[in-house]
């Protein structure tokens, strides 16, 4: 049974490469979220941060950024009707 849980020598480089690609994608999504946030596009920022969280759920900064986007969206003048 223990042999079934071992990662083969061939799979280790692939696992590392997969993690590296996920990290790279997460960093790109985070940068896109930051750019959208700075432009006041809070809904777009939330989408980018959520996608990044799906790739790297242990990155607490992503949750903070997404939370800030939600709060900023709720204070945005475009979010509230002027009636």
Interval 7-53: pLDDT, tens: 556 567 777 788 889 999 999 999 999 999 999 999 999 999 999 99
Task: Kindly list the distances between the CA atom of residue 53 and the CA atoms of 2, 26, 28, 66, 83, in Å, as whole numbers in the listed order.
Answer: 32, 8, 12, 9, 37
More confident residue, 2 or 18: 18
Q: Where are the domains of the chain?
A: 17-79
Give the residue among 57, 52, 59 at the shortest CA–CA distance from 30.
Answer: 52
Fold of domain 17-79: 1.25.40
- Cα separation of 14 and 79, whole Å? 45
**pTM for the complete prediction?**
0.75
């Amino acid at each position: 049974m223990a042999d079934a849980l071992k990662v083969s020598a061939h799979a280790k480089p692939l696992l590392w490469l997969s993690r590296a690609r996920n990290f790279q994608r997460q960093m790109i999504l985070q940068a896109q979220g930051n750019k959208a946030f700075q432009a006041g596009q809070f809904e777009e920022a939330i989408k980018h941060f959520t996608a990044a969280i799906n790739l790297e759920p242990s990155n607490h900064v992503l949750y903070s950024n997404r939370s800030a986007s939600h709060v900023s969206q709720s204070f945005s003048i475009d979010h509230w009707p002027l009636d």
